[in-house]
Structure 1
Amino acid sequence: MWRWIEEHAAARPQATAIGFEGEAIAYAGLQRRILACTAMLAARGIGRGDRVAFLGANHPAQLVLLFACARLGAIQVPLNWRLAAPELRFILEDSGAGLLLATADMAEAAHRALPPGCALLAAEAAEADAPAPAAMGGDDDPVLLVYTSGTTGRPKGALLDQRAVRTNALNAEHAFGLTAADRVLTVLPMFHVGGLNIQTTPALMAGAEVVLLPRFDPAAFLAALAAHRPTLTLLVPAVMQALVAHPGWAAADLSSLRAAGAGSSEVPLPLIEAFHARGVPVQQVYGATETCPIAIVQTRAEALAAPGSLGRPALHAAARVVDAAGRALPDGMPGEIQLRGANLARGYWQAPEATEAAFRGGWFASGDVGVRDAEGRYWFTDRLKHVIISGGENIYPAELERVLRDAPGVAEGAVCGRPDPRWGEVPVLVVVPGEGFDRDALLRHFAGQLARFKHPRDVVVVPALPRTVLGKVQVEALRALARGG
């Protein structure tokens, strides 16, 4: 994948690759930065298979590092800057990262999270004057280790090789009609495969321009629309809701946008209709960290023909719906969605049992329930996994329950999602109070241990948790209690 930038730099050196905070970085300039970063990494002993972490809001330095790692056959570990220091430290230790690059605004957080044996470097100054070594990385080399929240309370690292990233880019190119003439506005965080790989890296493969906003802000987004006239962008439901509710939405000129991708398993139809009413088709994208992520996707025509569907399998991917025994189901019958293709992760980092459970016979078990209709379109219906999706972020109850176990004044407790008009879902504690129970103190207990977006929003007090005869907490009964609370 490192050849993408090298080839565009040779063929169209002055074409803009990245726009960021008033700076236009041409493809030739981007290639120079990549070579300088490659030289710096090599000088620090980074080579094939070594892990290098990145902590920062959206910044050209993350893309420079990604392609430098690709040249060396090294692996980038993007870190979620919303995580608390203990969460970041766990990922750095679990991945075995020997080097952390952090942007200036994340320097303090990086110092707090830094484990022994991991060096820290300013991301903006990650270069060396020495010549870059010869490129070694290829399709078979892992290039991304992206951590996704784990059902056991600890995140798991999905290992994606360069072939997966290239295949994903081809899927995006086909679905969005990406060419060198496009300008992509990236506002979703690139520590997720969605913000990084649904449009951003595919745009660089195509030779298009990427306009980076450090973080999403509705006013900044609308200003970027006017200033840069992007042809494509990627959103999630919480971002779409913030835009539609913004005072500037009605007067905003959206005419440059050919389409907006929507990275979520379920996008509320009223939000889709709000964009369609402004002439912007919403192309839904379905997948997971483990699929890089594009696995099922709508083309522009499909977005207009079947709003709300997930679309059809991407050009270089396959999908099926299966029953509990793994047998393919006929159209119209709900079952688990499974995915296959060269875009799949190799598995989970140092977690063979989890890999075996999720990747079965070449298929990735999504944990989502869906149906395929007679036209071959897929529709999301429910989740098998007990996951909360809040503002586009996955929150696993086990993460909160691990912290809840140490909370004073709680005899027992569990965590589930509650529908929320702004975020889609929010986490709620359902607890049996013990001696010294204090609701406000319980909510404060999560501060500094988990990212703020994972913090519970409410506490529902019950005399006993709903359980099966075997003692397992009944998830649906728990959710009913949370809704009623």
Structure 2
Amino acid sequence: MNWELDWLENRARLSPNKDAIIDEKTNNAWTFTELNKRANSTASWLHTRGVKKGDRVALLSPNHISYFDLLFACGKIGAIFVPLNRRLSLHEINEILADCTPVLIGVHQEFESISPHLTNTATFFIGDPSYEELVTFPIGDLPQEEIAETDPLAMIYTGGTTGKPKGVVLSHQSILWNAINTIVSWSLTEDDVTVNYMPMFHTGGLNALTIPVLMIGGTVVIGELFSGKKAVESLNRYRCTTILLVPTMYHMLIQTDEFQNSDFPFMKIFLSGAAPCPMHIYEAFQKKRLAFKEGYGLTEAGPNNFYISPEDAQMKRGSVGKPMLFNSIKLVKTDGCETDTNEVGELLIKGKHAFSFYWNREQATEETWKDGWIHTGDLAKRDEQGFYYIVGRKKEMIITGGENVYPLEVEQWLASHPAIDEVAVLGLPDERWGEMVAAFITLKQSCTIPDEELKMYCESKLGRYKIPKQFIRLAELPKTHVGKIDKNKLKEMSIHS
């Protein structure tokens, strides 16, 4: 093992008795020394099972200590850790297994019933007594094969919202530099504590806060099923200083009595990611004088790319801030030229935290990696002071009657209406205009509002071509596995309705 890459070994030497991981459900805790021993034992066990450098080791599990055991163990022997989206169907999981061909898959006992039906993979079980034997396996000599920074460490599959999931290969370098960049730019310290409710098969759960907090010597509390009430209790109980949630989680959190009644004495900052955040969430935190801000990332880059101070976040609501210390950002128009101030363009990213390639997807890799830059497919603009704002997905931009409509602008305004609970705006086919703007909404309890009133509300802020021609009311908006509103599902619903 290249010892400068095995930062867990070094962190265990520096902070041997500090709690690294706490399980919210059981309250079990592991120090950095104990976490490193588990990783060494797991690495030895994998080695005796014939796992070699470059082999894939998969995991199907809810948030659990095994994510750390296997990630760090794979790092020590040069294997590639592949966390699987537990919310997929058996068919979808088997498609991913057929793509990445792991030599072993760890299956949590919660999924024991589907284990016999997984594609051609040797399994071992997580969460039962046999697993504790595995993580206390006698530590032996590990292979002496050199592991380079650019060798793969993990492969995280994208959500598949624009087609079949793609395996995003992350090297030791990309995970290491995302963490270093985050620690330095966000001023994380060994006193930081976070509770992670993001799914750990997702880059937001594994890489956004979890790895950076551990690397600096802080503590990560493993959360599982999210509820607003439980989150407030855990933030106070474990003296958390920071947390990352998606907007739908914050939407649930701020509506609880526990949120209204807590002062959050230990919290330094609340972070929002994965999707643009509605303004009413900013207002809820400002009302309580709690620091709140947004970030931006994607599986292929980071997922951390910007920094904004809490003070600037209140002044520049909706901004993700400025590029972090060790990465570069530029915005380009369709002709390849860079944008001017306040002009919308595609967001491009460069840095050592970037992914290596898509597994078995050479063409997709070439389409994303161009001239040394990651082309994100996201649209953004930059103001006069250099603060960046995410406008939306390139593929979600609506062209109606030759005019460009960015759904986020319409969503933000509709979400500020007191009767609306959640909203998603997208373009639907229209014979006359090419596309028409449609708004899918859920209403707050006991609220009703006619379309004409909603259109009048939009007219007070938006150009006429931006005003939805349809308002489609639903009991609930469908969500992806990380809690984002699923616009593909909404589009399918509109086609079949």
The aligned residue for residue 90 of structure 1 is: 95
Q: Is residue 2:119 matched to residue 1:115?
A: yes
Distance of 1:320 and 1:223 partners within structure 2: 41
The aligned residue for residue 5 of structure 1 is: 8
Contact 1:296–1:319 at 8 Å: present in 2 too?
no
Instruction: Between 368-377 and 128-137, report the one with greater CA deviation.
Output: 128-137
Q: Give the CA deviation at 1:151.
A: 6.2
1:7-406 pair list within 5 angstroms: 7-20=10-23, 21-112=26-117, 114-116=118-120, 118-124=121-127, 125=131, 126-127=134-135, 128-134=137-143, 136-150=146-160, 153-386=163-396
Q: Give the CA deviation at 1:356.
A: 0.6
Distance of 2:204 and 2:82 partners within structure 1: 15
**Closer, same or farther: CA 351–257 of 1 in aligned 2, 3 Å:** same
Contact 2:321–2:389 at 8 Å: present in 1 too?
yes
| Secondary structure class of the residue paired with 1:248 | helix
Distance of 1:174 and 1:422 partners within structure 2: 42
Q: Give the CA deviation at 1:313.
A: 0.9
| Secondary structure class of the residue paired with 1:311 | strand
Residue by residue over 1:135-159, the C-alpha shift from the partner in whole angstroms, topping out at 9 and shown as x without a partner, is 6434121111111134663111111
Contact 1:229–1:256 at 8 Å: present in 2 too?
yes
| Secondary structure class of the residue paired with 2:377 | strand
Residue by residue over 1:428-482, the C-alpha shift from the partner in whole angstroms, topping out at 9 and shown as x without a partner, is xxxxxxxxxxxxxxxxxxxxxxx999694684468xxxxxxxxxxxxxxxxxxxx
**Closer, same or farther: CA 325–275 of 1 in aligned 2, 3 Å:** same
Distance of 2:15 and 2:27 partners within structure 1: 21
Distance of 2:438 and 2:67 partners within structure 1: 33
Q: Give the CA deviation at 1:277.
A: 2.4
Relative contact order: is structure 1 or structure 2 higher (C-alpha 8 Å, sep ≥ 6)? 1
Q: Give the CA deviation at 1:195.
A: 1.4
Distance of 2:172 and 2:329 partners within structure 1: 22
Instruction: Between 219-228 and 13-22, report the one with greater CA deviation.
Output: 219-228
Q: TM-score, normalised by structure 1?
A: 0.79
Q: Give the CA deviation at 1:168.
A: 0.5
| Secondary structure class of the residue paired with 2:254 | helix
**Closer, same or farther: CA 259–108 of 1 in aligned 2, 3 Å:** same
Distance of 2:372 and 2:30 partners within structure 1: 40
Distance of 1:296 and 1:290 partners within structure 2: 15
**Closer, same or farther: CA 212–323 of 1 in aligned 2, 3 Å:** same
Q: Give the CA deviation at 1:107.
A: 2.3
**Closer, same or farther: CA 41–420 of 1 in aligned 2, 3 Å:** farther
Instruction: Between 129-138 and 344-353, report the one with greater CA deviation.
Output: 129-138
Q: Give the CA deviation at 1:418.
A: 5.4
Distance of 1:95 and 1:370 partners within structure 2: 33
Q: Give the CA deviation at 1:287.
A: 1.5
Contact 1:297–1:312 at 8 Å: present in 2 too?
yes
Contact 1:170–1:202 at 8 Å: present in 2 too?
yes
Contact 1:46–1:74 at 8 Å: present in 2 too?
yes
Distance of 1:421 and 1:347 partners within structure 2: 39
Contact 2:59–2:83 at 8 Å: present in 1 too?
yes
**Closer, same or farther: CA 308–348 of 1 in aligned 2, 3 Å:** same
**Closer, same or farther: CA 302–170 of 1 in aligned 2, 3 Å:** farther
**Percentage of pairs with the same residue:** 29
**Closer, same or farther: CA 453–104 of 1 in aligned 2, 3 Å:** farther
| Secondary structure class of the residue paired with 1:172 | helix
Residue by residue over 1:299-334, the C-alpha shift from the partner in whole angstroms, topping out at 9 and shown as x without a partner, is 334324422101111211111110112221122211
| Secondary structure class of the residue paired with 1:256 | coil
Distance of 2:279 and 2:171 partners within structure 1: 35
Distance of 2:233 and 2:153 partners within structure 1: 34
The aligned residue for residue 407 of structure 1 is: none
| Secondary structure class of the residue paired with 2:147 | coil
Residue by residue over 1:254-283, the C-alpha shift from the partner in whole angstroms, topping out at 9 and shown as x without a partner, is 121100111134111111221232232223
Distance of 2:60 and 2:341 partners within structure 1: 44
Distance of 2:122 and 2:439 partners within structure 1: 41
Runs of 4+ in 1 over 6 A off after TM superposition: 451-455
Residue 15 of structure 1 aligns with an amino acid whose one-letter code is K
Q: Give the CA deviation at 1:417.
A: 8.8
Could you list the runs of 5+ residues in structure 2 that have no partner in the other structure? 398-406, 409-423, 427-434, 445-482
Residue 19 of structure 2 aligns with an amino acid whose one-letter code is T
| Secondary structure class of the residue paired with 1:131 | coil
Q: Give the CA deviation at 1:15.
A: 0.6
Distance of 1:418 and 1:119 partners within structure 2: 47
Distance of 2:147 and 2:438 partners within structure 1: 42
Once superposed, what is the RMSD of the aligned Cα atoms? 2.9
Contact 2:275–2:484 at 8 Å: present in 1 too?
no
Distance of 2:382 and 2:272 partners within structure 1: 20
Distance of 2:373 and 2:347 partners within structure 1: 10
Contact 1:35–1:132 at 8 Å: present in 2 too?
no
Q: Give the CA deviation at 1:3.
A: 2.4
